[in-house]
């Protein structure tokens, strides 16, 4: 049933020997890495569902494009993490991308839950207001030169106009739109646990902004009582292969529940995602030593 909308490969399959090796090594990252890649593929497949497909809600074109763009962003950033971490390293960089993926996933789920034009207008205007400010600054600089426009300014002005035109919004709509809620408010609307905000957003911000905890953890090490540059040995943590896919799967649930009008296809998809989610959690339980026994594949 799910193949009516999604053209995706079969989920990864791991042999008992694969599982036993991870158990003996005390490292389940190889298995979770495969599932991480697969969730990225699933996200990409969802982004490829065409708006005119049968059984898809007829949303305004730009609204559907926002959702597809956010899905594609999550998918491509996940693939970026796959390329970076396939040998286990670049943990300092994958942590930054994790924060970006999580934020996009939450925004998409929030839009799918709100389901109203105002929320999409607020999302679109959030970025375009900055473009309007930039345009004012460029025009001011041009006026100071007596009307002479630099080549780079011409390119920037064309880009700004294209962004505005593609949004379908009038400039007055952009200026008057309410500010987009912050991530804490979106997470509260989605009824996610407060710990999600603290861990994924607030602590994730350390890695984006280069705060002291991030420097101390990823970029500095103590040698003879002195902190100096840490070598290129930051591993991607096993939890990163768990948290991001689970966040994406929750957002895919929100997306499909919003856009899919075929109840049978929707339920098939939700059941499929539930099986993936259960398997990832099962592997995580084994990885952190919760004593869970691994069952058969989904």
Name every residue whose Cβ is closer than 8 Å to that of residue 9 and which is 6 or more positions away in sequence: 38, 41
User: What pLDDT is attached to residue 197?
Assistant: 60
Element containing residue 229 per DSSP (H, E)? strand 226-229
State the first-to-last Cα distance of the chain, in angstroms, to the nearest integer: 16
Helix, strand, or coil (residue 227): strand
pLDDT tens across 64-117, in order?
Answer: 999 999 999 999 999 999 999 998 889 999 999 999 999 999 999 999 999 999
Please report, rounded to a whole number, the percentage of residues in the chain having pLDDT higher than 90.
70
Distance CA 128, CA 68 (A): 19
Phi then psi for residue 220, to 5 deg, are -130, 150
Residue 180 has pLDDT above 70, yes or no: yes
- pLDDT confidence band for 294 (50 / 70 / 90): very low
Give, in order, the Cα–Cα distances in Å from 169 to each of 64, 107, 128, 255, 266: 15, 20, 10, 23, 32
Q: For residue 13, how many other CB atoms are within 10 A of its CB?
A: 9
**pTM check: above 0.85:** yes
Distance CA 255, CA 190 (A): 13
User: What pLDDT is attached to residue 201?
Assistant: 67
Mean local confidence (pLDDT), 10-38: 91
User: What pLDDT is attached to residue 3?
Assistant: 62
Name every residue whose Cβ is closer than 8 Å to that of residue 219 and which is 6 or more positions away in sequence: 92, 229, 230
């Amino acid at each position: 049933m799910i193949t009516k909308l999604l053209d995706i490969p079969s989920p990864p399959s791991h042999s008992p020997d694969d599982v036993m090796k991870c158990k003996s090594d005390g490292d389940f990252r190889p298995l979770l890495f495969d599932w991480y890649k697969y969730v990225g593929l699933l996200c990409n497949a969802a982004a490829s569902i065409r708006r005119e497909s049968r059984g898809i809600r007829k949303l305004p074109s730009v609204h559907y494009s926002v959702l597809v763009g956010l899905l594609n962003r999550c998918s491509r950033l996940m693939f970026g993490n796959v390329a970076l971490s396939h040998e286990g390293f670049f943990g300092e960089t994958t942590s930054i991308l994790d924060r970006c993926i999580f934020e996009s996933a939450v925004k998409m789920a929030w839009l799918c839950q709100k389901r109203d034009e105002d929320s999409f207008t607020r999302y679109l205007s959030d970025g375009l207001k900055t473009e309007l400010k930039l345009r004012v600054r460029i025009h001011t600089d041009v006026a100071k030169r007596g009307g002479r426009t630099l080549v780079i300014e011409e390119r920037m002005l064309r880009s700004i106009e294209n962004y505005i035109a593609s949004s379908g919004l009038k400039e007055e709509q952009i200026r008057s739109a309410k500010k987009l809620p912050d991530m804490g408010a979106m997470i509260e609307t989605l009824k996610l646990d407060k710990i999600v905000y603290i861990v994924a957003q607030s602590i994730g911000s350390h890695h984006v902004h280069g705060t002291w905890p991030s420097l101390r953890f990823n970029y500095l090490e103590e040698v003879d009582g002195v902190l100096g540059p840490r070598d290129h040995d930051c591993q991607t943590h096993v939890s990163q292969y768990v948290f991001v896919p689970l966040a994406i799967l929750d957002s895919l649930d929100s997306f499909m529940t919003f856009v899919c009008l075929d109840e049978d296809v929707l339920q098939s998809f939700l059941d499929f995602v539930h099986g993936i989610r259960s398997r990832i959690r099962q592997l995580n339980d084994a990885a952190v030593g919760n004593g869970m026994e691994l069952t058969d594949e989904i």
